[in-house]
Every structure is written in structure tokens, then in C-alpha cells.
Structure 1
Amino acid sequence: MTKLPKLSTFLKSLFTLIMFAISTNSISAEKIILIVGGMEKQIYLPVKLAERLGYLKETGLDIELLSEPSGVNAVTEMLSGAAQGVVGFYDHTIDLQARGKQVQSVVQFSQAPGEAILVSKTASAHIKSPADFKGKTLGVTGLGSSTNFLTQFLASKYGVKNSEYTTLPVGSGSTFIAAMTQKKIDAGMTTEPTISRLTSTGAASILVDLRTLKATEAALGGAYPGACLYMPTAWVNSHKEQVQKIVTAFVKTLAYIQTHSAQEIADMMPPDYYKANKQQYIDSLSASKDMFTADGIMPESGPATVLNVLNGFNKAVQGKNINLSNTYTTEFVKAARK
């Protein structure tokens, strides 16, 4: 008769097998939450496109995408530990470092904001440039958001102090449109497809255009890296394999954008993203597709331009010794390109 192994030996063996199974599946077992500052915005198109193309699924990671209308609210969620990363604007990494928080962009989606300041039809007779913002109400996605940052900079550039106008958080998309058509705001900064939805009906006109690299360089003095995936530096350093998989998926997506037409890209997006006017969505994407980076690499002069913009008005940044090299990394993008 065959002797059974001692119970203690059996349990030790079972425990070893369980721990091995856990270790080999740990990378895919941990849920990774990425909050997007408005999933339907064209500036954040690479995120949804990566999901639709199956690139995020190919990572083998349990990734959940959540949409939050304002980037500043997404930052709060990330810092609280409710999310591992935010798809938002790079300028938050500098603002957060000035406030003692270390986060970094791990893949750069765009080299231009992809936004514009719109003026309502009724206010257009009185607002011809940012110099006319005095006494006006300006719409932004949220207080402390990137649209707020850029609006404040453009106002200060034209000699208008923050105290001389009112900023009103109105979100994006339908809520922004409602605020403008209901005359709650005189002007405001928003993105596509909201820009085209308002200008096509004559409800608004473009005052400052930041949708392309050329227009951005003229308005801000250089490339302005906007949309990116940024994460807490400590989490990046302790989860390099996961970060690499995510970045590789997004680098593949950026390559897809470069090699496919706006029509082909639009065909991959959910119908509710273009609000029953697909051609308008295609046209706006075609006109501003060059805002996306070709490979996820941070534009060489971009961080300095962003710091210069923030120094123009942001009291949290002014006078601080900002280490720009800590606000982004190219480590994962370069590995993905290989």
C-alpha cells in the first residue's frame, strides 16, 4: 500500500503551487484604472481608439477606463489612490510638482492643446481679442483645469488680470454648449467636436485657435504638449512592467493615427462621439490631426514652453525651482519603439 505524504508536507507543496500561480498572474490580476478628462474629446481620441483596436486588451492587463469631464477632478481621484493614472494635460505634472506632488507623463499624445477659445454670437461685437476679457464671464471645463490655465495665460498676455474677469466651470460638450447658448458665458475654451458643433451653427466663432501645431506656436511661442498619460512617479517606478505594456499599446495607436485617414479613424469610434454628424467629426479631425505626436515622444522644447506659460500667471509655480526632467519620461516610449 502506497503511503500518503504527511499533511504538513502536502500543505507546504500546495502553498508553493498557489504562490507560484499568484506570482505568474499578478501582472494581469491587478485592476488599473485610468481616468480620462472627457473620453469623447478628440484630444483624448488615442485612448478610446486603443480600446476599439484591441490594443489595450492585448496587454493582458485588467484596465478600466473612466471618463471625468474635468481634468482637475481626475487629478484629485488619482492623488487619492482611486486611479493609477490620468489621461489629461501635461501641464498638471508641473503644477503638481510645484505643490509637492511627483507625477510624470509616460507617453505624450499631443504636441498642441487641440483647443480653441470661442466667443458667443452675442458677445462677438465686444470681444475681438483676449484684451477684451475685462468684465466678461469665461467658460472653462473646471477651475484648476488646463483650459483654465491657458485662458489665464492668454488674458495675462494681453494685460488682463485674473481679478478683472470671471471664470465659470461649465464642463465640456453639451454642458459647454448650453452655457454659451443660454448666455451664461461670453467666451470659453473647449475642444473638438464641441468647437465645430458651435461654429457650424453660427452660435460662436473662434477667437484663439490652438488646434494645430502651427497655430499653437504662434499663440504660445512653441509646441505645447497637451494630452498625455501621467501617473504618480512612485507607482511608475514600482510597476514598470505594467506601465510598459500600457505605453506600448498607446504607441501602436499613435502609429495607427499617423497611417490612417480621419475617415478610417472615425469609423472606429462609437457613433455617439460624433453626435449624428459624422462628416463634421471627420472634417475637424482631418484639420487638426497633426496635433498628435507620431510616436509618443515628448517634444524637445515643449516642457519649457509649458513652464513659461504657467509662470505667466500661476502663483503656485512662480518662484519655484521646477525640475522638468522629473515631469516626464521617455523610457517606456523608446522601449516600445524598439
Structure 2
Amino acid sequence: MTNRRSILFSVAMLAAASALSAPAALAQAKDKVSISALPFISTAPVFIAKERGYFDAEGIDLEIKIFNAAQAVAVAVASNDADFGITAFTGGFFNLAGKGALKVVAAQSREEPGYNFVAYIASKKAYDAGFRSPKDFAGKSVAITTVGSSFHYNLGMLADKYGFSLASVQMKPVQSIPNMMAALSGGQVDATILPANNALKLEAEGSGKIIGWVHEHTPWQLGALFTSTKNVKERRPMVERFVKAYQKGLKDYAEAFLAKDSEGNRMIGEKAQAVLPILEKWVQPKPTIDTVKVAANYMDPQGRLLVKNIHDQLAWYQAQGLVDKGFSANDFLDLSFVKGHLDLPKQ
């Protein structure tokens, strides 16, 4: 009888322990969340936040899905293959957003004077023949990812600024960044437009020559963090926690790579060295500290957008007939997740 009571007591204690531990286990369960992204330095805040546990601390188990073109990043979110996306604005993005599929919640990279990000690069043959300036794209063949891409828009801004016809530029869509690099190095085009890390690689190999940087000619809000409209409506607390973790990654990135001395030179020190292994893990081509000194682009440390510039971008795409005219940027911008957005349009 004593043994029976002992067994029953043990069973009761186990049951009580299980009951007590169940809420703790439930509390520790994380939201499984995915983000579609490109393997660029511009995605660094996400990489940093993941590797340093900022998403975990917010109860988010994050999967990063890597793509090779901005349009694919947006499509992944619109089709529910990813919960978030982070990349450049494109005509395809605006079309999806205009259909109600996407919501922009924070800033990513922007072309800010004094910070290299995207380079104009001429083939060696074209450079030797005198193609030395972004003002001279008229009549040249240029590899881009897709019609309506950010690279297309870069050329459009140049054409508007310097008064040449965009129709005179022979744009050759090749679908991905690696294909753009191959088209230039293989002599199939006169030029291309590439993130700094990729452009520096081609220049080092002798395949091309950097002839300028976008921020020197046409500063703009290049990219953003976005999610599905469904997530904003049905999983708002998760989106808020995601943005909070992302902002921590932005802060670390800014401290590592954006500080300048009194003469305007970048101060790349211990914090940059500490972040470099994370970039080496995720960024392609694999960056060195010397590359990062040149190629670490500007991102607002708080994730604030240049709002009016996004309205201007949409208007340009609509004027080109690449995006439907039946909506405005207000329909896909959700400015409630980040405080203090910049360059707000006048009402």
C-alpha cells in the first residue's frame, strides 16, 4: 500500500510539474517569420539583427530567403512565400502595392551624398573609347535586371537631369545582378549599374571602370522594408516587434559604418571589424574591410523614409506607363511603425 501511495504521489507531482511548465513553454514559443532579401550590404541591418539575436529577443524565429533581383523579393511577399521583404523600389513593386498586396513600414537604403552605394560602370572597351561620365549614356547599351527596375529608374533620373532621351539608351534586361556582371565582363554591353561591392569586384578584375556614383548625381530613397497588407491587419504586434529588432540592426550598422570625422572621412574601427564576419557570411561577393570602407551605403539609423521622394518615384513610373495610375503612395505607405519620417509631402 505504501508503494502504491508513493507511485500515485510521484505521478501527481509529475503532472503538477508539467502543468506549471506548460505556460513557460508556450511563452517561449517564437513566431516563425521569413524575409525575402538580396545578398547585398544594403541588407546588413537584417543580417546583423539575426546574428546578434535581436529577432530572437522579440520572439521571432527568422528565416532569410535570398534572391537575385528586387522584383522577386516583392513577388515573394505578395504571394505569401515570405512575410517581409527588403529591397529597392521597382515598377513591379509599385504595381503589386497598388493592388493592395504590400505595405511599406520602414526605410532601407538611400542614395545620400557622401556615401557610395550604386555605381555606374563602363566596360573596358567603352571606357577606352571615351565613355567617362554618367552624362553620356545616350546611345549606349546597358545591362539592367528588368524593365521597371531601380536600375531603369536610375537611368530615367539621369536622362531627366542631363537632358538626353531615355529612349536612346539601349536597355538590355538580363534578370539578375550576376547576369548584369557577366554581360559587362563578357563585352555584351557598354555599361551597367551595380551595387558598389559588385562594381568594385569588376573593376578589380579589369572588366570595367567605375565612372561615377548615383549619389553624386541623383540622391533618392532607394529601398524599404515592407510586409503584406494581411500581416499589418492580422499580425500587427508581430510586425511591430519585427521593426523594433530591425531598428536595432540599423543602429549597429550606423555605428559601425556611417560615422565620419570632421573632414568627412569614414571612421571604420572596432565596431566595423566586429560586424564584418556577419557580412562575410551573408553578402555576395564576400566583402573585405577595404571594400566596406567604400561600399557601405547610407541607411537612416531609425528607419525613417524620405516620403515625398517615394511619391515622386511612383509618379515617374506612372508617367512612363509602367505602373497603373489608379492609386497613390498613400495607399501603400504605413508610417505608423516608425516615428519621425522625413520629407513629408505638403498637404
TM-score normalised by the chain length of structure 1: 0.75
Change (3 A) 1:84 1:331: same
Correspondences of 1:202-241 after superposition (within 5 Å): 202-210=206-214, 212=215, 215=216, 219-220=217-218, 223-241=219-237
Please tell me whether residue 245 in structure 1 is matched to residue 234 in structure 2: no
- Deviation string, structure 1 residues 209-244 (Cα, Å, up to 9, x no partner): 12x4xx2xxx33xx5222221112232121111101
Structure 2: tracts of 5 or more residues without a match: 1-18, 258-267, 341-347
Using the TM superposition, give the Cα deviation of residue 118 of structure 1 relative to its aligned residue in structure 2, in angstroms.
1.2
Say if 1:72 and 1:143, in contact at 8 Å, map to a contact too: no
Partners in 2 of 1:134 and 1:61 — Cα distance?
48
- Please report how far the alpha carbon of residue 310 of structure 1 lies from its aligned counterpart in structure 2 after TM superposition: 2.9
Instruction: Give how far 1:191 is off.
Output: 0.3
Please name the residue that 1:326 is paired with. 331
Q: Aligned equivalents of 2:97 and 2:246: distance in 1?
A: 28
Q: Counterparts of 1:268-279 in structure 2 under 5 Å?
A: 268-270=278-280, 273=283, 275=285, 278-279=288-289
Task: Give the 5 Å matches for 1:91-110.
Answer: 91=90, 95-96=94-95, 99-110=98-109
Q: Which residue of the partner structure matches residue 200 of structure 2? A: 196
* CA 1:275–1:207: 2 relative to 1, 3 Å: closer
Shift of 1:25: 6.1
- Cα shift readout 1:102-126 (whole Å, capped 9, x = no counterpart): 4221111223283122111111225
Structure 1 unaligned spans of 5+: 1-16
Whose radius of gyration is greater, 1 or 2?
A: 2
Rounded to whole Å, the distance in 1 between the matches of 2:71 and 2:90 is 11
Q: Does 1:296 find its partner at 2:303? A: yes
For 1:93 and 1:333, the matched residues in 2 are separated by 25
Does residue 1:62 correspond to 2:61, yes or no?
yes
Distance 2:185 2:30 in 1: 46
1:28 corresponds to which residue?
30
Find the residue that maps to 2:106 and give its secondary structure.
strand
Q: Out of 56-65 and 84-93, give the one that drifted further.
A: 84-93
Q: Percent identity over the alignment?
A: 18
Is contact 1:55-1:249 (8 Å) kept?
Answer: yes
Cα gap change, 1:121/1:193 in structure 2, threshold over 3 Å: closer, same or farther? same
* 1:254 alignment partner in structure 2: 250
Call closer, same or farther: CA 1:272–1:54 in 2, change over 3 Å. closer
SS of equivalent residue, structure 1 residue 122: helix
Q: Residues 71 and 92 of structure 2 are in contact (CA less than 8 Å); yes or no, is this contact kept in structure 1?
A: no
What pairs with 1:43-62 in structure 2 (closer than 5 Å)? 43-62=42-61
**TM-aligned CA distance change 1:327 to 1:279, over 3 Å:** same
Moved more, 296-305 or 153-162: 153-162
Task: Please tell me whether the aligned partners of residues 152 and 313 of structure 1 are also in contact (alpha carbons under 8 angstroms).
Answer: no
Aligned counterpart in structure 2 of residue 136 of structure 1, from 140, 147, 166? 140
C-alpha deviation, 1:279, in angstroms:
3.3
Structure 2 contact 231–239 (Cα < 8 Å) conserved: no
| 2:311 maps to amino acid | A
Normalised to the residue count of structure 2, the TM-score between the two structures is: 0.74
Letter aligned with residue 54 of structure 1? G
Contact 1:110 1:292 in 2 (8 A): yes
